[in-house]
Structure 1
C-alpha cells in the first residue's frame, strides 16, 4: 500500500518557490511567522512558513503546519450576545440546576449547543420551531400582562461560538426565519418543556452526561 511522503522542514532550511510578491522564482528560508486567515477573521501565531529571501514575505506553508492552521480556524471564537427578560434566563438556569446542581451559568452554552444539534438531527422539530416559538412568546407576553406594574429587567446572555457552530446557527436562522434572540428563546422554551416539566423527557439523561464531562 502506497503512502504519501511528507517532507519535514526545520527552521533555517532552504527551498525554492515562486514568490507572488516578487512574481518570480526565489530562494526561501523556513522561519516561524504569524499567518493571517485568508478572510481576515484572525491570525494563527508562530507557524513554520517558507519566507522569501528577497522581500521577506510568506511564500508558502509546508504540510506540517496546515493542521495547526486548521485547528486555529476552527477554534477562533465568535461572540453570541442576546438580551432577554430575566424570568426566561431563570428558566434556563433552573434547567441547568435540575440537570446538575453544580452547574454554573457556563452551562447555558451547553444547553444552547445541545438543542442546536438536536434540531439539526430532528428535522421535524426544526420545521415546527418557528411556530412553536411564536406561540410560546405569546404565552410569555400573556403572563407578563398578569403582573403589570412590576418592571421586568433584561439579562444579557453572552458566550463564544466556534466558526463551525456559528455557521450552524446561521443555517437554522435561515431555515426558520428566527433571529439569534428568538433562537435562544427557542432553547429556553425547549428546556422548560423537556427539563422543568413534571415528567422531564429523556434528554435530561443525555444532558446529565454532558454536564458530567463539562464539570469534570
Structure 2
C-alpha cells in the first residue's frame, strides 16, 4: 500500500503564502508563456475533484485575434452598462477607474465550460443537485489558478459579460454552460493584496462574520 506524503510545517507555510499570492489579475505583461506551460496548467486542472468523477470541465483556448477583439469589445460594453446601473455618482466614478479585464494584453485566453450531460460519472452524485457539475468545474478553475501562481503566472476571471453572447461567439455544443472566461499570463504588478482592496473598492471582511453556529 502506497504511503501518503507528509506535508511538513514548511510546506504548510508555503501553501498559506500561495493562497495569499493567488490574485485576480487584470494587468498583464504581453510576453508569451513558455511552450507547454498552459498544457501543464490544464493537466493540473484535470486533477481537480468532481461529482461522481464526472470531469465536466471543457476548456477552449481562444487564439483568433478577431475573436479576442470581439470579446474585449463585448466586455467593455457590458462594463459600461454595469456602470450606468450604479446610482451613487461617487461609486460610479470610482467604478470607471477600475481595470476589470486583460483581454487585450494577456497572452492566453481560456473559456471554461461545464458539460451539463457528461457521460463520465454515470449520473452519480448529481441526481438531486445538478449544479454540482458546475461546482466541479469551478474546482478545476481554482486548481489551475493555484498551479499557475506556483509558476509565477497570473489568472484573471472576466465575469462582466453576457454568457449567452459569449457562448455564441465561441461556438460550442448547446449543452455546455459557460463558467469562466480567463486571462492568463505573467502579472505586470504582482501583489499579495487583492487589487479591488488596493484601489479602495472592497477589502476582505472578518471571517468570523461568515461563520454561523446552530
Structure whose residues are more often strand by fraction: 1
Select the structure with the greater relative contact order (CA < 8 A; seq sep ≥ 6). Answer: 2
Structure whose residues are more often helix by fraction: 1
Work out which of the two has the higher radius of gyration on C-alpha atoms and give 1 or 2. 1
Do Structure 1 and Structure 2 share a fold, with TM-score over 0.5?
no
- TM-score, normalised on structure 1? 0.26
- TM-score, normalised on structure 2? 0.26
